[in-house]
Structure 1
Amino acid sequence: MTDCPVCDCEIEQETPGSEEGYGGESYAPAQAEYEGEIYYFCCSDHKESFESSPEEYAGS
């Protein structure tokens, strides 16, 4: 499990391709790489927010 760097919600890193997994678990439908580290997001909108200013969210 990891947290979305934009909203801090807990998400599963492995994604079966949907935002809601089995048993109500949330999966990361989007990911991005920044400075050699992969970040996982709860939705594609948060990925876009991160990519527009990654220094604001990286490491949070």
Structure 2
Amino acid sequence: MKTPSEELAELILPLLAETRLLLPEDANKYKEKLTSGTMKAEDWLLAAEKAFDKEAAK
């Protein structure tokens, strides 16, 4: 049985990747941190900056 955090991550992470706020590979990478509650503000910032930089390079 999945925890509520795992269920929420499964709903949110694909949406963040779809809207290009997060790279798909980062969504998978940060899933464990998100569900365990160990994801920090710095992690979110790094992931968002990477997605922004990739989008800006297009």
The TM-score, its normalising length taken from structure 1, stands at: 0.24
Q: Greater share of strand residues, 1 or 2?
A: 1
* Higher-RCO chain (CA-CA 8 Å, sequence separation at least 6): 2
Richer in helix (by share): 2
Structure whose alpha-carbon radius of gyration is higher: 2
